[in-house]
Each structure stands twice: as structure tokens, then as C-alpha cells.
Amino acid sequence: MAKKNDAAKSATTLASWLATRIDRSIGWSRLPTAFGIAVLIGLRNALRADNLFDTGRAPGGSPPPENTDYRNARTVDGTYNNLEHPLMGSVGSRFGRNAPLAQTFPEPPEQLLDPNPRLISRRLLTRDEFIPATTLNVLAAAWIQFEVHDWFSHNTVETKPWSVPLDGSDPWPQRPMQIRRTAPDPCPDASGPPTFVTQDTHWWDGSQVYGGTREVAEALRSGSGGTLRMDGQGLPPADVEALASTSETAANFWVGLAVLHSLFMREHNAICEHLAACHPEMSDQELYDKARLVNTALMAKIHTIDWTPAIIGHPTTVFAMHTNWSGILGERLNNLFQRQPHNALLRGIPGSPTSLHNVPYSLTEEFVAVYRMHPLIPDRFVLRSASDDSVLAEHELPDLAVQYVRARFSETPLENIIYSFGRAHPGALTLHNFPRHLQRLERPDGSILDLAAIDVLRVRERGVPRYNEFRRMLRLRPVSSFGELTDDPVVAKELAAIYGDDVERVDLMIGLYAEPKPKGFGFSDTAFRIFVLMASRRLESDRFFTSDFRPEIYTPEGLAWVRNNSMRSVLLRHFPSLAAALDGVTNPFAPWTPTWAGRSTE
């Protein structure tokens, strides 16, 4: 047996080496789909072997007492997802790394501000003219922020903020610009690079809908039939909103997030109603727990087979994402092989054995860094009628911020807001396309932020390598010049002016926005490498998507709900009047059909 295992490892290593060579010489995206898939599998195996690093568990903290309820349901704090290591992935766990730990020490303080983040914001990121992502809709932009609020968050501290110097032409009202620092690990290891902890669980568990603290989670419960409380606008009641108002997620809340929160609270309650009809013996707690499992798995499925193929629409990646969820056989044929051992390649990751690939599970700082996608957000929104496409209102982004969500919901029926988002384009993930309103974001507490400058500084502050070093650690060829980095000679000159002709100083986020993208891609191939690794890992490491994705845990009806639904069916269940707009649209995150064909589609 040992010899067989050694032989399998050697074969995997050889395949990974060959895939890396083919990718560097030809590029996976230039290959026919079957060969491209084989190369991506080899690259994923190489990334698993070489780009998963454990930062350890901070001292202190203990799991809750053993309780059999934890075996069949997700916990608020993420404990007991892994039964052998109950604290793995729970609230307060450190972010892991995809870069070797020796490469994650932040640069000296003076280099962390070089080039000046505010200068980069003004000269490289400012949206002079809106550049649309024509293959996506604004619902796709709202979706990724909705999911990010489930996946990760860092706290910040007010003490010793970063002081960013400003030049004389900068209209910023405070001099110098003050940017809060990321909160350090409360129990750091003095001998290693700085570590940071998450304020959410690392698991894909729907915490943005169900609450990240026990207090909020309990306040959301109706106490009857497992359902969640919703007010007349389809939003969490005001008392729940007040409980959550101090969180960073609440401060970033806007109409786009509110739409998706409302949609999946409705979906939870619909699941509860269905399960209660099938299992009248279930208690309120059992219905809640089962519905959360089902709703969360459905959100993960939507992200895998709907959102991701929309934003990386290359034929190879579309096939790969469907294979990740349903395997090569697909969902229909899966039923014929239910009694056979579950092979993830043939039948998809859900239901396969849990696998950590020898590294404790966590999301990583590099994963956080590549998901900085603020350019997706437009500055201006046109709200239209879902019945005839007529314009109902026009708003700038600040008019849709947290303090105006209820006003917008009162003025415009939710189905019209959803239709308007489905009908409109988000921004492209490129330079010179950062939302102007987010470069001068006025928070409810009166503070003013430049999110573009903050995005640049956060990546540096947390020890994520700069662009070329990031490519090296992923075994990609570094760029040797600004002309090689971008296919736009004007942008190449702008980059050279900012970075002093030193391509090694280019920030990761700037490089990701500047590099040419593969066919059908909304984000860069460099960022995609982290996605290749972590998209599968988030599913493979979670027992509720793997070993416990089974009828005994979800109920047969719960698994059928996940199997038979998608973003389209969720939208149409709660807003059937959107059927005309979705008619002929293959992906709900692609632009929808105007409901009055006589009107312009601009």
C-alpha cells in the first residue's frame, strides 16, 4: 500500500510539473478545453503542494463543551465544523498564507508608503469615465460583496494610524491623510511574521445572513417554524439592525447588499416551510438548522455555477466550475451512481470525503488581497420598472448607502430594484475605474475615507508580496518591464512615472488591474491562480459540503432543494414577475433582457 501511495504521489508531482511547464510555455487559456482542464488540475495540485501555509492557532481560546447538536448543524462561531479540531476556522482564527511565511514580513514603514497610496489612488485608479464590464450585471457586483461579508473581515484600531502625506494639489480635507491600521493578532508569535485574525468564521456558512454573533443570530429568529424575522420591507427588523450597527459589515451596507440579504432571508423561510410540510415532527431549532444548511449550500452552488462562470467566462473555466460542483457526470447522471464510492472528479466535491491537504483550513491573506474588486461598483444607478423598463429614479452611489436603504426600498418595489441591477452593467476591474464616491466615502459617523488608497495600503500592510514577487511564488514568469505588464502604452508610461521605472515595486492590486486578461475573464490570470486553489479548498475542507453532505444531515428534501435550484429559480420563486427579463438569459449574472423591446438597451 505504501508503494502504491508513493507511486501515486510521484505521478501527481510529475503531472503538476508538466502542467506548470505547459502553462508557462503556452498558457492554459490557449489550449482546447479538455487539455486546458488537465493543465488546471495539474496547476491546482502544484498549488496545493506548494502554496498552503499554516500560521498556527493563537494561544488561548477553548471550544464549547461537547454537544451532539454540533454534529448536525453549523455553529454561530464556526466551532466543530472539524470534529477532530473544533477550533479550526472559527471566529478569531488566524488567516493562513499562500505565500511562504518568510515572504510575508511587511516592508519597513517608510517603504509601506512608497509609492504614496493616495498618489496611486488619484493618478492610477480615479474613474475619469465609467468603463463597463459588458458581460456582467450590477447584481454580480453586489453578489461578490455579499459573499465577501460571509468569508472574511479584519478589525482596525484607532491608535497610531498611518499618516499618508499629501501634495499641495490634493483637495483632501485632512493633512496628512489618516488611515487606521489593521488590528494586530492579540497573541502574536514574536519569532514569525505578523499574523491577523478574522472577525468572521473562515467557513462558507452564510454568516452574512444568519449573524456573526449569537446575540444577532438569536434576535433574527422568529421562534416559530425555524423562520427568520423580516419587516414589511423584507429587511431585518430595526432592533436587529441596531444590534448589528457597530460591525464593519453594517457600515458598508447599501441597497445592493440589502437586496441579497432580503432575497436569501426569504429563501430560508421558504425552505423552512417546505421542510415543515415534509417533517411535521421537526422542532423550530431543527427546522432552522436544516434550512441554514440548505440555504448556505445553495449560495455556495450559485457562486460556483452561476457567478463564477459569469465573471470568468472562458469555456475551460465554465466547464471546470460546473465540474467542481457536479463532476464530469453532471447532476442528472449523479443519481445513477449514488451507491458507488464518491469520486470528486466524476461526481463533484459535494458529498466527497473531506480533505485538508495536510494543512489546517483557513482563508488566506492572499485570497483577501485578490478579492479587492471595488471597481465593479458604478457611481450612478438608474432604477427602472420591471413591467415596462421605464425610468423611475436616478441615484448616485451615496444615495444608496446604509442610511438610505429603507428610503429606497419604500420608494421602489424590490422587484424593480432587482430588475434594474440585472439590467445594468458594473464597472470593469481595470485601472482608472475606481468609483469616485468610494475615493471620498463619507461614513455615517462623519469620517471620510479613500477606499482606493486604503486598498493599496492594506495589501502592503499585511505582508502580501508585491505583483512580481506574487507571480514568482505562484511559479508564473515575472514581468520585466511596464510594457510587458500592460498592452496599453499610455498606461505603461503612467506606471513607470509612479513607480520610478522599477517594475518590482508595482503593487499587487495595480498589477492585477493592469495585466491583460484571458478571453472571457473579468479579472486577471494572476488572481485566478489563488482562485484555482482556494475555490476548491473552501468546499473540500468543510464537512457540511463533503462527508456530511448527505440525507441524514440535510434531509432528502433538503438535498433535493440544493440539487434542483439555482440563482434563476430563487429569483423567480420570490419575484415571478421577473420571468420576462430573464427569458433567454443563460446566466442571471449576465445582462438581462429589457422588458420593453422598443427601448434602448443602453
Per the domain annotation, does 35 fall within a domain? no
Find the domain containing 424 and state its range.
52-582
| Pair 544, 74: CB distance under 8 Å | yes
Which are the contacts of 404, defined by CB distance < 8 A and separation ≥ 6? 255, 398
Per-residue confidence (pLDDT) for residue 296, from 0 to 100? 98
Domains identified in the chain, total number: 1
| Pair 568, 592: CB distance under 8 Å | no
- pLDDT beneath 50, residues of the chain: 1, 4, 8, 598-602
Return d(Cα 313, Cα 361) in angstroms, integer: 28
SS3 state at 274: helix
- Active-site residue, from 80, 371, 467, 554: 371
The string of DSSP letters for 197-259 reads B-SS-SS-S-HHHH-SSHHHHHHHB-SSTTPBP--TTSS--HHHHHHHTTSHHHHT-BHHHHH
Per the domain annotation, does 598 fall within a domain? no
Per the domain annotation, does 324 fall within a domain? yes
Q: Which grid cell is 532?
A: 484555482
Q: What is the largest CA-CA distance in the chain?
A: 71
CA neighbor of 99 nearest in space, from 491, 593, 462: 462
CA atoms in the 13 A half-sphere facing the CB of 43: 29
Return d(Cα 405, Cα 463) in angstroms, integer: 36
Per the domain annotation, does 525 fall within a domain? yes
| Pair 50, 67: CB distance under 8 Å | no
Grid coordinates 448589528 are at which residue?
Answer: 244
SS3 state at 385: coil
Per the domain annotation, does 587 fall within a domain? no
CA neighbor of 242 nearest in space, from 234, 250, 230: 250
49-72 confidence digits (pLDDT tens): 999 999 998 665 566 665 667 789
Q: Which grid cell is 562?
A: 440544493
Return d(Cα 592, Cα 599) in angstroms, integer: 13
Per the domain annotation, does 18 fall within a domain? no
Return d(Cα 83, Cα 72) in angstroms, integer: 11
467 among known catalytic residues = no
Handedness of CA 39, 44, 49, 51 (dihedral sign): positive
The string of DSSP letters for 542-572 reads -TTTTTT-SHHHH-HHHHHHHHH--HHHHHH
| Pair 204, 103: CB distance under 8 Å | no
Containing H/E element for 453? helix 451-461
Per the domain annotation, does 561 fall within a domain? yes
Q: What is the CATH number of the domain that holds 444?
A: 1.10.640.10
The neighbouring-strand residues paired with 383 are 393
Per the domain annotation, does 443 fall within a domain? yes
